[in-house]
Amino acid sequence: MEQQTERTIQTVLLSATLTPGVERLAGLALNSPVRLDASEEKTENLNNDEVSLHFVIPQTLDQKYVIVAAKLRLVLLTATINYHYKQEKTNKILIFMATQDMVNFYTELLSCATQMKNISFFKLHGNMTQIERTEVFRKFRSTVSGVLLCTDVAARGLDLPQTDVIVQYNSPPNPADYVHRVGRTARVGSSGESVLFLESSEMNFLHWLNEKRIKLEEQDMETYLEGLVDLNVDSKKNKKLNVGIEEAANSLQLKFENAILEDKELHKIGCQAYKSWIRFYASYPKESRTVFCFKQLHLGHYAKSFALRDPPSAIGGIGKPSDLKMK
């Protein structure tokens, strides 16, 4: 009778990145563990970080980057969302941003100031209550389509089915975080796409990724911007305007800036988001600063990416300064 009720229990520990901490956890939690390597290449001469970063990227993930000038970032973000929602296969998009203040601001701005009224926007960051985060997670999982703006709190441990596109509006500090972010799509054999926004001064991040056997293809910015022509509509006649790409981009930027000018509260949280981004960029880890050099930034152009017309020197005195909130 006892022999009939005995069962053999097998424990499996899975991890996207095999860090020393995970190795220690395996040693404590598992009895005589056997390590299985999912890589197709021989990895005897690679350290744990190199191995994990290599094999965790699915072959069904299409990895791209786009070079964008600071003052065009907001317009390109809108164009990227619009482009993917015109593709029939797109269901959900995750947009990773640097700080909580940025998530709050861009969610509000994109929701109220664009012509994409048929798209639902959600936000998720570490300063939300557990009840709020659970509700957002539930709604985004169950919705047919939507855009979730988030910090790196969503980069690990969340299963978000049918997430087709990952947009990294701000670069992660290292390749490991890049891997965790893009790991939210192309799961369980499904296809997915990731897009990394880079300024020309940040191009060395691609070399860093290449060293870890992560290769991205360049995406022409105009591929996304062409769709902005469809967003130019005469609100009175509800008729599309016949304009070119540059004129459409300028028109969209102007709409964002006017929305900021007409809404004092939106202007305030825009300034807070801009300041939080400055603090974030200035606090990249030491090993990342050769790639992300604060001194090379044009702060005035980056203010445009927050739809702010104020000079950087004036923005510091607008609204109450908030502590940097990254997760």
Do residues 137 and 129 make contact, with C-beta atoms less than 8 angstroms apart?
no
Do residues 184 and 295 make contact, with C-beta atoms less than 8 angstroms apart?
no
Backbone angles phi, psi at 239, to 5 degrees: -130, 140
Count CA atoms within 13 Å of residue 315 on its CB side. Answer: 25
Do residues 67 and 200 make contact, with C-beta atoms less than 8 angstroms apart?
yes
Count CA atoms within 13 Å of residue 300 on its CB side. Answer: 2
Average pLDDT over residues 196-214: 95
Cβ atoms < 10 Å from Cβ of 52:
23
Q: Cα separation of 150 and 277, whole Å?
A: 14
**CA nearest to 193, candidates 64, 86, 67, 55:** 64
Could you read off the pLDDT of 56-115 as tens digits, one per residue?
688 899 999 999 999 999 999 999 999 998 887 668 999 999 999 999 999 999 998 666
> 124 in helix, strand or coil?
strand
DSSP state, residue 212:
T
pLDDT at 235 over 50: no
Backbone angles phi, psi at 218, to 5 degrees: -75, 135
| Least reliable range by pLDDT among 87-101, 137-151, 268-282 | 87-101
Domain ranges of the chain: 2-54, 61-315
Helix (H) or strand (E) holding 274: helix 264-282
Amino acid at 250: N
pLDDT at 151 over 70: yes
Top-confidence residue, 204 or 117: 204
Indicate if the alpha-carbon torsion angle 210, 147, 192, 325 is positive or negative: positive
Q: What is the pLDDT of residue 307?
A: 97
Q: pLDDT band for position 236 (50/70/90)?
A: very low
Task: Classify domain 61-315 by CATH number.
Answer: 3.40.50.300
